């Protein structure tokens, strides 16, 4: 974080200095919510939470070097106290501090030293695209991006507060579970470049339909400043030309619009897409009249769109097409449980267990088919959460049919909530469209031995489900030999 005195932080956050805190003490270290991450110069943010109360660890944070504690009740340590409101008030104070830092670092008056803020949203692919953009922009200068999916009202400001005067790019993932959430995050860190990947069915239960999801995702482009010339500053909305709801967001922004996709009229597009035996795609990148061949190390045909979005951002920030192609090719998976490919006893294991919705399930099964080709394949599939009651059964049944169409040898359906997947696959079997085996198990602990009993050298195994299913455990149990 940029160096600030406690009295300045108190002014920004609208808090009162308390305990043994000295107003002229300087916070120039990390801002953390876990006392174990406290270090000299840190600010420790105490949240009550559901399991533990951060206030109980205030003294430990200060012992580790924290200058003060941002708290909702007095603690026996130097602190900044919010005026009522509990955790909600603490999070609001944290957001005010992050907003101040973001404004300071991105101030155009800093010239070439101003940080460029990039916001990325979409129903799926946000984290992978964020990781891609961050790795590519790292070649241009110091870049800060969240670890994993640190994209909510707590993770977002904490990521902003990792930036300092040396930061040139701040790449932020913005998520929403309701109307207004993205608008709020954009007020904390106003982006100059906004990327909208897609409008899918993730969080359908919360929003009630795709139109509402599109309304929420579009808050990102509405927050952008007016546009300017290419590479000349001003707001830039990077929109997926292949998603009609995303493409329509061009009418909702003052920013200059850059489209990407497979469409012939996209500003940044891909042609000649090939899925290699490794499951990684290669394609020809078209950008401003020039072309370059890109060979990704990431697995899955859906990575092409993510790479195109990253290319559009990098182009806006001054990279030439050859540098972009090289950086994309060098990018590696940076967040866990997203198309992680490993080998174990001659079996290819794909851990894509971070989340699941119909679109990402389709992408995962397509990737499985590409990886397997002439080999046997096993799919371990769990619940797709947040779909809403009306879509729940039908969408799960469609996934079961998709798995059958992929030609999996064995389908392991995990948990009662995923029953529809088994129903869809078994219907395909009855119709003569599939000859594989469908196994139902209650949880990851039983899924692992079911896979181990059936897998043999040369097989490809994919694991996919929503976070509530905790299917990442399946791969751990298989590789550690604990499945029984």
Q: What is the pLDDT of residues 336-360, one digit of tens each?
A: 778 889 999 999 999 998 888 898 8
pTM for this predicted structure: 0.90
DSSP H or E segment with residue 16: strand 16-18
**Domain ranges in the chain with CATH number 3.90.190.20:** 340-480
Which pLDDT does position 390 carry in this prediction? 62
- How far apart (Å, rounded) are the C-alpha atoms in residues 279 and 281? 6
Token look-up 């590409």 returns 370
- How far apart (Å, rounded) are the C-alpha atoms in residues 215 and 232? 29
**Domain ranges in the chain with CATH number 3.40.1390.10:** 4-92
Which pLDDT does position 206 carry in this prediction? 64
* CATH fold label, 340-480: 3.90.190
Bridging pattern class, strands 68-71 and 43-45: parallel
Determine whether 467 is exposed, middle or buried from the number of CB atoms within 10 Å of its CB (0-12, 13-18, 19+).
middle
* Domain 107-330 part of CATH 3.40.1190.10: yes
Token look-up 């399930």 returns 361
C-beta separation of 124 from 198 below 8 A:
yes
**Domain ranges in the chain with CATH number 3.40.1190.10:** 107-330
| pLDDT confidence tier of residue 232, bands split at 50, 70 and 90 | confident
Cα dihedral 28, 31, 34, 39, rounded to 10, equals -10
The answer on pLDDT for 251 being more than 90 is yes
How many CB atoms lie under 10 A from the CB of residue 375? 13
The counts of H helices and E strands in the chain are 17, 22
| pLDDT confidence tier of residue 21, bands split at 50, 70 and 90 | very high
- How far apart (Å, rounded) are the C-alpha atoms in residues 310 and 332? 14
Q: What is the DSSP letter of 37?
A: G
CATH superfamily of 4-92: MurE/MurF, N-terminal domain (3.40.1390.10)
| pLDDT confidence tier of residue 379, bands split at 50, 70 and 90 | very high
- In this predicted model, what pLDDT tens digit does every residue of 130-169 receive, in sequence order? 999 999 999 999 999 998 777 899 999 999 999 999 999 9
Question: Could you tell me what percent of the chain has a pLDDT over 90?
Answer: 82
């Amino acid at each position: 974080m940029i160096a600030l005195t406690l009295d300045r932080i108190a002014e920004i956050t609208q808090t009162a200095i308390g305990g043994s805190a000295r107003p002229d003490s300087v916070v120039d270290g990390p801002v953390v919510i876990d006392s174990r991450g406290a270090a000299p110069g840190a600010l420790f943010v105490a949240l009550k939470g559901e399991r533990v109360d951060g206030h109980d660890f205030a003294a430990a944070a200060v012992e580790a070097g924290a200058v003060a504690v941002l708290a909702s009740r007095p603690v026996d340590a130097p602190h900044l106290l919010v005026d009522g409101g509990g955790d909600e008030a603490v999070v609001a104070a944290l957001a005010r501090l992050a907003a101040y830092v973001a404004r300071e670092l991105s101030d155009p008056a800093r010239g070439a030293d101003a940080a460029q803020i990039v916001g990325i949203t979409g129903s799926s692919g946000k984290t992978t695209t964020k990781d891609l953009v961050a790795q590519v922009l790292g070649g241009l200068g110091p870049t800060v991006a969240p670890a994993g999916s640190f994209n909510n009202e707590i993770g977002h400001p904490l990521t902003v507060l990792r930036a300092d005067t040396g930061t040139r790019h701040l790449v932020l993932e913005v998520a929403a579970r309701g109307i207004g959430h993205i608008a709020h995050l954009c007020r904390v860190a106003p982006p100059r470049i906004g990327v909208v990947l897609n409008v899918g069915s993730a969080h359908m239960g919360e929003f009630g339909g795709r139109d509402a999801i599109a309304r929420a995702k579009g808050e990102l482009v509405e927050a952008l400043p007016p546009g300017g010339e290419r590479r000349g500053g001003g707001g830039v909305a990077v929109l997926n030309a292949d998603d009609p709801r995303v493409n329509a967001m061009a009418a909702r922004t003052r920013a200059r619009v850059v489209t990407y996709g497979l469409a012939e009229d996209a500003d940044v597009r891909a042609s000649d897409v090939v899925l290699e035996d490794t499951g990684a795609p290669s394609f020809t990148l078209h950008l401003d009249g020039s072309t370059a061949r890109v060979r990704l190390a990431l697995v899955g045909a859906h990575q092409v769109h993510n790479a195109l979005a990253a290319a559009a951002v990098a182009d806006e920030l001054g990279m030439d097409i050859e540098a972009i192609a090289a950086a994309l090719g060098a990018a590696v998976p940076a967040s866990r449980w997203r198309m992680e490919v490993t080998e174990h006893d001659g079996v290819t294991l794909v851990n894509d267990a971070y989340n699941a919705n119909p679109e990402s399930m389709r992408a995962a099964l397509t990737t499985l088919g590409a990886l397997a080709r002439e080999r046997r394949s096993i799919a371990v599939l769990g619940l797709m959460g947040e779909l809403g009651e009306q879509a729940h059964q039908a969408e799960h049944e469609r996934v079961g049919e998709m798995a059958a169409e992929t030609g999996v040898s064995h389908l392991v359906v995990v948990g009662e909530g995923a029953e529809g997947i088994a129903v869809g696959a078994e219907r395909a079997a009855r119709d003569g469209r599939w000859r594989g085996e469908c196994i139902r198990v209650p949880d990851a602990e039983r899924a692992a031995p079911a896979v181990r009993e059936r897998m043999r050298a040369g097989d490809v195994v994919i694991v996919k489900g929503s976070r509530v299913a905790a299917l990442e455990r399946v791969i751990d149990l298989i590789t550690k030999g604990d499945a029984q």
